[in-house]
Amino acid sequence: RKEVEQDPGPFNVPEGATVAFNCTYSNSASQSFFWYRQDCRKEPKLLMSVYSSGNEDGRFTAQLNRASQYISLLIRDSKLSDSATYLCVVNEYTGNQFYFGTGTSLTVIP
Amino acid sequence: DTGVSQDPRHKITKRGQNVTFRCDPISEHNRLYWYRQTLGQGPEFLTYFQNEAQLEKSRLLSDRFSAERPKGSFSTLEIQRTEQGDSAMYLCASSPGVGAGGAEQYFGPGTRLTVT
């Protein structure tokens, strides 16, 4: 079983739509959670950390559900520039390994 | 530019040759990570340094791979006797390691390796 699993998509949504991605993780001892964005042939860039209480940054909202072992990312009012692959990342503090999902591809259509 | 830098950006080599990549992290970051990424996959953890100490190595890292961070600043990743399966993007990331946001990693642009 993979440590982190994501639906690879692709998600094709019109501009202005709301889209949500989920990601599940297998280790209940995981400590830190992140969403990264990766554009084609570029390096991943940190989008946001995910806190236990949930957090929001502009049009982006991240949630953590420890009981069900998943994190989510909600993007409101999608822009063309949101088109990218979104990577879910989980850190098991004791091992300090970071596990990346395979990514979810998003295309925002005009 | 005060971000993470990697050199070279591209490397083409023949099977069996050795290659070495360099990573310069953000200067005040004490943690440094190496990852490998192939098409359609997320980055795969290879190894991790806290200052100059290599604290973690992936089980997937064969003995042909070695990494160093001799003075706790830049790091090198060497692949000996390269194989075609080593073709990938090699990414370096650094993080502060302490304080709020200590685990947040910032990536370099990567080194794309092609083994022919």
Q: Which of A88-92, B37-41, B100-104 has the lowest mean pLDDT?
A: B100-104
Q: Which of B101, B104, B107 sits opposite A43 (nearest CB)?
A: B107
Q: For residue B73, is pLDDT > 70?
A: yes
pLDDT in tens, A24-50: 999 888 888 999 999 999 999 999 999
Distance from CA of B12 to the nearest CA of A (A): 17
* CB contact (8 A) between residue A32 and residue B103: yes
CB burial class (10 A; 0-12, 13-18, 19+) of residue A69? middle
Residue B32: is its pLDDT beyond 80? yes
What pLDDT sits at residue B1?
55
Task: Pick the residue from chain B with its C-alpha nearest to A94.
Answer: B56
- Taking the C-alpha atoms of residue A95 and residue A90, their distance in angstroms, rounded to an integer, is 11
Q: What are A97-106's pLDDT values in tens digits?
A: 889 999 999 9
Put simply, the answer to whether B41 touches A102 (Cβ < 8 Å) is yes
Chain mean pLDDT for chain B: 93
Question: A6-23 b/e with 16+ CB inside 10 Å = b?
Answer: beeeebebeeeeebebbb
CA A99 to CA A91: how far, in whole Å? 6
- Taking CA atoms, A21 is separated from A28, A84, B72, B97, in Å, by 20, 13, 37, 28
CB contact under 8 A, B91 and A49: no
Cross-chain residue pair B104–A46, CB shorter than 8 Å: yes
Say whether B44 and A46 touch across the interface (CB within 8 A): no
Q: Given a cut of 60, is residue A95 above it in pLDDT?
A: no
- B76 — alpha (psi -120 to 50), left (phi > 0) or beta? beta
Chain A residues lying within 8 Å of B110, measured CB to CB: 43
| Nearest CB to B56 within list A87, A95, A100 | A95
Q: What is the pLDDT of residues A77-94, one digit of tens each?
A: 999 999 999 999 998 765
Q: What is the mean pLDDT of residues B88-116?
A: 91
Give the per-residue pLDDT at A83: 98
Q: Point out which residues pair with B51 in neighbouring strands.
A: none
Q: What is the mean pLDDT of residues A60-84?
A: 96
CB B13 within 8 A of CB B116: yes
pLDDT band at B9 (very low <50, low <70, confident <90, very high): very high
Q: Indicate the SS3 state at residue B73.
A: coil
Best of B41, B58, B60 to substitute, by most chain A Cβ atoms within 10 angstroms, is B41
Residues whose CB falls within 8 Å of the CB of residue A78, separated by 6 or more in sequence, listed in order? A13, A14, A15, A16, A17, A18, A19, A106, A108
